Amino acid sequence: MDKTRLKQFSENIRDLLLHGWSRQVLVFLFFVVISAVFWLMQTLESSYDMKVTLPLELSNVPSEVVITSEPPQEVQVTLHDKGLNLMRYYFSLRELQLTIDYDSYDKGRAYGRIIIPSADLRKQITPKLDATTNIVAIHPDTVDLHFSRGLKKKLPVKLTGEIAADNHHFLARCTCTPDSVVVWGTKDLLDTLTAVPTTEIHLTDLGQSTTKIIHLANIWGAKTEPEEITIQAIVDTYVEKRINVKVTGINFPAGKTLKTFPAEVTLHFHIGSAEYHSIVADSFVVGIAYQDLQNMTTQSDVFEPALRYAPASVKNVTIEPSVVEFLIENADNE
């Protein structure tokens, strides 16, 4: 049964191939293949430019040396030759590792800069190429790196950008962890630095506390450790609070005291909910300065008490009542 089916299938295929239109299709496909082969041969005989990316490695760096600006990890080489050779290079040059030997460029300098011209990289590539192959370009055309031996400085981190809460909240504080980093570089460079800025950050319209990892800005010729920090933006809501605070006399001479009626005033203010219970009467100073009373142009027994001190987190403070009666007494009359 199986042999019968196989024989029938073979006969069907033979009839299909021998059919008139099938033979025309086969002839057409034959000429397509021939044309493709000629096109490929012609293409491979023509000359082209091809870009090859080669990995670049820095070697023989002493343990006491810190590379403050790393060289590129790869170099792009443009080759010109016939297509057949370029096709071979595409696969063979992938294994070529370009190397910068630190020892051959340092020359024993305590700190500084190394510049490797493209001619030095060309010397490593040329032996792998045929005589007919030309190196058109190497990018970058020079490799530039900075290094230092033990020269470092600890600097504070400076946030750059914008951090703000939405209309219903406020930014209570913003912290950086760590708040300072170690910078490696040459003495001349380190002497010019006072802080390490972050990359531009834009956190606006915040409705809740946010934590974000951001990178430090690149300083040309320097290396920072660590290279990124964590910022925490603490967002809070304002609540209203009232506190009774005693009115005190400020800079009164010895033997004189101040009495006010009433003795206390009520402060109305806004404070973040997280600090609501930590703000007490002793957090404020409300008083009347003796000199101000002496400078009054008219005789009066009322004066406006002034808020002399309040925590920075307190906002929109008002005093009630806005004026109080006062009396200056000699201390020995008490």
Tens digits of per-residue pLDDT, 130-149? 888 888 888 888 888 888 77
Tens digits of per-residue pLDDT, 220-257? 888 898 999 999 999 988 889 999 999 998 888 888 88
Spatial separation of the C-alpha atoms in residues 66 and 70, rounded to whole Å: 10
Question: Does the pLDDT value for residue 51 go beyond 70?
Answer: yes
The two structure tokens encoding residue 181 = 């980093």
Tens digits of per-residue pLDDT, 155-169? 999 999 998 888 888
Residue 231: predicted pLDDT: 93
Tens digits of per-residue pLDDT, 308-320? 999 988 888 999 9
Residue 310: predicted pLDDT: 93
Residue 242: predicted pLDDT: 94
Residue 301 dihedral angles phi and psi, to the nearest 5°: -110, 20
Q: What is this structure's pTM? A: 0.57
Residue-range domains of the chain with CATH: 45-148 (2.170.120.30), 152-236 (2.170.120.40), 238-333 (2.170.120.30)
The residue type at 9:
F
User: 271: buried, middle or exposed (CB in 10 Å: 19+, 13-18, 0-12)?
Assistant: buried
Residue 32: predicted pLDDT: 60
Residue 320: predicted pLDDT: 93
Residue 94, classed as helix, strand or coil, is helix
Residue 158: predicted pLDDT: 93
Spatial separation of the C-alpha atoms in residues 132 and 173, rounded to whole Å: 67
Residue 180: predicted pLDDT: 94
Question: Does the pLDDT value for residue 33 go beyond 70?
Answer: no
Question: Does the pLDDT value for residue 40 go beyond 60?
Answer: no
Residue 273 dihedral angles phi and psi, to the nearest 5°: -60, -30
Spatial separation of the C-alpha atoms in residues 310 and 317, rounded to whole Å: 9
Tens digits of per-residue pLDDT, 76-128? 888 888 777 777 777 777 677 888 888 887 766 555 778 888 888 888 888 88
Q: How confident is the model at residue 9 (pLDDT cuts 50, 70, 90)?
A: low
Partners of 114 in the β-ladder: 145
Residue 128: predicted pLDDT: 83
Question: Alpha carbon 333 to chain centroid distance?
Answer: 68
Residues whose CB is less than 8 angstroms from the CB of residue 113 and which lie 6 or more positions away in sequence, other chains included: 144, 145, 146, 147, 221
Spatial separation of the C-alpha atoms in residues 300 and 303, rounded to whole Å: 8
